[in-house]
Structures are given as structure tokens and as C-alpha cells.
Chains A and B, each alone.
Chain A
């Protein structure tokens, strides 16, 4: 990436803004300067003929594992942000479960700086709630917020903050700087040794079950805690129909609760585990058809606020083994929008304006992320994603730019393709290729 001193000018011609009527969008420097029909291309402007394409605000992911520092064999900030750009993202929240854990100002600033240097996508570090993700002692939440990284989202993701007192204190403490605790809801005792969703399939496969109640009981406790202390809580990767009911109830009370769902929980079920292929091993586990339908409905009606990828890269050897020995997680940045189009748009549950809400406006608002999740209008920062919704193609992991290939969608035909991504006016993806 080279810094350019001259102002770049780009004209998108005939793009359907948020899926609406075709219009032209002029980008000058880092900003959208005009939106309208029949805009003239200024001298030296790059013109992109975007008929039939949908223009969305740059996508924002609340839940990404970039693995750096510590597990650079699976992903780095650079490779992860490249994957994000390919998926249409202009900002990602980097989870704290790195080595060392992002539980100090030093580590979050390092990740933040690496993101700046990558130039493909903004990286907003998430700080750990507790020291070493151990759930015992609060990390220096204030120091992480006051650092250059300006952390607002805190999470022990990968582990649950299961101690009720620690959770209560964290929720209270972050009120001082408008922070939010993103909870990985998993009651640890109920999920000891858990390998997959507990139900019909686990009974047959003889794999230790991860019951829905282990997620739901923590969510129930935490929405009550958040209400009690008047703070806000965000539920990571909500995966069960019961969790949806609890969040719906909490929202009906007016409590400050938000929730995310992953693309894979919108599409895949635990029936896939019958193959014992660890590519389907993920935490929380793939649930049942009924859960999938409930999650789609909840995302459609706004009970679930946003889609978050839980992009979890793992090296080949951690998946090329028996189920019990395999790592949990799936990559998701490069396929998220296609899966969401497939499950939510092509099914008629959401239109593109609502997709912009669930994948950009809302996550940016939850993360209090400045400059992202903004409307497409003159004067707004030019963080934009252009996609071709008519495209259909098979997922080929060999084409991923992520360092890891652990996708559950190999060979699956999915709709939609990001053709261009703009980060503050500069194209990071052009015609489906990284710049």
C-alpha cells in the first residue's frame, strides 16, 4: 500500500444504494461528495459502471479473531484485514483471546497499530474483561479505553465471564466510558468436555453435548444483571431459539441488551456433524433446524441486532484430525455477506437496506465506532461496499486470502460477490481482487 498525495476521485455509476433506485455516487478523497443521477465524471476520475450492483456502507464486524499476536500461523492482522476487505468489511473488532491476551493497554495498542499499518480495514481491538481471560480479576478496562486504541467493547470471548459478581462489576465499571461487555454465554460446568449441540444427533454420535440451556441460563442472568446495574450488555454469537426468547423479553422491558448471530448459525445445523468432519466443529455449536429458523426470524424482526462473523482461523493440522482433537471455529469474513444474502435476502426476510442496518449501522453503533456505519450521503466518509447480488459461485477455499481455509462452505454454491470495497475513499478491493 502506498500513500497517495493526489486526491483520488471515483464515480460509481448506476449503483443501487442500499438496494434502492440506481444512482451515481462521487467519491473525492476520503469522502462521498455527491449522490444523485446523471453525475458528471470529473477529469481524471475512475468510473465504475455499477449497474445491477448493490451499494452498502462498509460492513462492520463486531467479532473477528485476527490471531495476532501469538498465532500468526493461522492469521495475522494483515491477512485477516485483507480477508475482511474481500468480504466487504471496512472495520473489524479484533477479539482479545490472543497470546498474550489483549488485557492491557500495550497489547490493544499493538493490535490497533498493526491494523493502521495494514491499510485494508480498520481494526478496533476488543479488550479482555478479566486478566488472562481467567474470569477472576478485572483487567485494566479503563487503561485500555484511554489508550490510543480507545477500546469500548470488552469480551473474554472463547470463555464465559461466568462469575456473577465479576460480570456485575464489569458491567458497572464500563459505564464510566460508555463501554459494553460482549458476553460469550456458556455455563462452564454444563459444557465440560462438550463437543456438539446436545440433542438427537449427539445422542446418536456419542459426542458430549453442549446444551442450549448452558447458553440461555447465562444470557438470562446477564440481561437481569445489566438491567439491575443500568449498563449495556451485548450477547456474542447467540445460537438458540431459547436465547432469542430471552433477548426478546429483555428488549421488551426496555433493557439495554444487544445481540449478534453468526452467518453459520443462520445456515448450518448439527446434522452436519454426522460426518465427524471437524470443519463443522465450532463454539457455540451448530444447533438444530428449529434454532436456525428462530435465529433468522429474530434477525429479521430486530431482536438480534446484527450479524457478526466469529471469523476463527485455524491451521490445517488443527482440523485435519479426529473430531475430539480438533479446534473449534470457522473462518467467515470472506463468505459472510454471501451466506447472509442466501439465508436472509434471497428468502425475502430482509431487504438490502436492512442488511446495511444489520451488518454496518448497528454493529458500528454497538461498538461506538466513529466513521463507520454511516449513511451513504454527501459529506459522509467513503467506507463503501459494492456487491453483485446476481453472481452465483461455489466456495473455493483455495481462493481465500485469509491464511486459514477452515470453511464449512467448501463447494457450496452461494449467491453474491463483493466487487469493490472502499476504505475512506481508497479501493481495497477492485473487481473482486485485492488492490
Chain B
């Protein structure tokens, strides 16, 4: 989720999605959600900080456009549930914000920017478990770059991006980075990061 700092000698990353592409795939995902969740009733969007939260808000806005109803949106920090805490210095926590009506009996759609090893989503499922019991949990990601280490798959994918482990995928969003784009670069990445 965090920005990867590429080594200095690396070739400049090239964009694989630009702002209009990102807007288009989010619209598509919103429509798919409405379609599969039968009008998106009972849907709660929970973004995984940091960029997943922005994506969740954008999706919620699009769902409201489509359905004319407010869709609850929140955030789910998974730091305390990570399985790699002891591999790095202690991390700052992000905000967990559960919509006021909770998630009991709802369809929670977890939203993240990049799906990689699947460990983040595993942690998110654990975190969710301590908060309530949704009827179902779905996963929406902007980019799926493969290299899964756990039996996890996304229900909604903006773009499937086959990568090698030597490549890095960096998502930039206007709210955080001043521009929208998905960049593919070179440099060592650990699948544990996503």
C-alpha cells in the first residue's frame, strides 16, 4: 500500500493507467456492484488506508449517482492485524471508521488499491471479524498484479496487470498525490507488501 521507493538506477516507471482510465474502471466497478448486489442495498464500503479509502469514497459517490441513495463508506486499518509487524519498525496507525449503522448483516466491500500477496486482505478479514458479522464480504481492487500467497481473489478488479516480482506498481491518487495514475516500474518488491 505504501509508496515504493525505487532504487536510483531504475528506469523511470511508465504509466499503465491514467486519470480517465481510473475514472472509467471505477464507474465499471460501481455498475458491477449494483448489478451483483441487487441495487447495492445493504452495501457498506470499507477502504483500506491509505489509498483504498480514497477509492472507496469515489466508489460510494458513483454508487450514489447510479442508485440515488447514500452508500455508507468507512475505513478499516489493518496494521494491528498484520502478520509482518516484527519484520519492520513499529508503524503508525491509520483510522478505522465504521459507518454509524455498523456492518451487521450488510455486504461489506473491502476496497484497496493493489492486490498482491493477499496478506493485507487476510488481515482485513481478521479486523472485520472483531467489528461485526457482515452477511458477506467482497473485495474490490484497482489493480491485481498477481503473485498471491494466500487463497484470496478479488470480486471486482479495475485492471489485471501481470507483473514480475522485479517490477513495482505504484498507485497515485489526486487526494494523496496530486494526480491520478498507476505506474509500473522496476525494482525489488516483496509480495508481503500487498
A–B in direct contact per CB < 8 Å: no
Interface residues of B (CB under 8 A from A): none
Chain A residues near B (Cβ < 8 Å): none
